[in-house]
């Protein structure tokens, strides 16, 4: 695996942020963007990207990435662990959720199911406590052997995009 530079991380996070901006503003969710990036080789191609509510249903950005990647490989999200052989990093504008109020599988659980090939997670901001207090997602990922890193410099813009459509006094 080659080593990535700070500029590589910023470029990937900007791509995820550009996707987040495509998500429809709603008071009941964060607008998040995520991309999966292949880690081996000299170039770091994006394997999939997604944003909140891109796919049918109440879908999160990470979920959309995995669903689209599975479709590309003619498998299911669960089948990706068998299909994907190259190590990847997940870049997401917001820390993956550890709990879904809708009862769906959390994004942390989705990433943990793919830990054989998703080796690193890069986040722009921690999840605000708007919907679920004290997200232990980072700790859960790290305890399972997935490296989690913060990509600095995007916090203000990510939170502005993420909370568009929220009641103004709760968007901080």
Three-state DSSP state, 53: coil
Sheet holding 118-125, edge to edge: 46-51, 33-38, 88-94, 118-125, 147-150
Beta bridge partners of 34: 50, 92
Cite the active site residues. 62
Q: How far apart are CA 168 and CA 153, in angstroms?
A: 23
Helix or strand run (H / E) with residue 50: strand 46-51
Phi-psi region of 156 (alpha: psi -120 to 50; beta: other; left: phi over 0): alpha
CA torsion sign for 43, 141, 35, 166 is negative
Burial class of residue 13 in the structure, from the number of CB atoms within 10 Å of its CB (0-12 exposed, 13-18 middle, 19+ buried): buried
């Amino acid at each position: 695996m080659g080593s990535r530079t700070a500029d590589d991380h910023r470029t990937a996070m900007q791509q995820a942020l550009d996707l987040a901006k495509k998500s429809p503003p709603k008071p009941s969710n964060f607008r998040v963007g995520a991309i999966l990036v292949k880690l081996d080789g000299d170039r770091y191609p994006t394997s999939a990207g997604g944003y909140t509510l891109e796919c049918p249903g109440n879908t999160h950005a990470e979920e959309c990435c995995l669903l689209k990647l599975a479709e590309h490989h003619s498998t299911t999200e669960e089948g990706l662990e068998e299909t994907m052989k190259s190590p990847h990093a997940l870049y997401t504008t917001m820390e993956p959720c550890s709990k879904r109020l809708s009862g769906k599988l959390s994004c942390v659980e989705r990433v943990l199911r793919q830990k054989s090939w998703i080796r690193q997670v890069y986040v722009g901001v921690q999840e605000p406590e708007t919907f679920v207090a004290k997200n232990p997602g980072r700790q859960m990922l790290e305890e399972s052997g997935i490296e989690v890193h913060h990509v600095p410099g995007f916090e203000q813009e990510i939170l502005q995009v993420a909370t568009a459509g929220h009641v103004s006094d709760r968007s901080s």
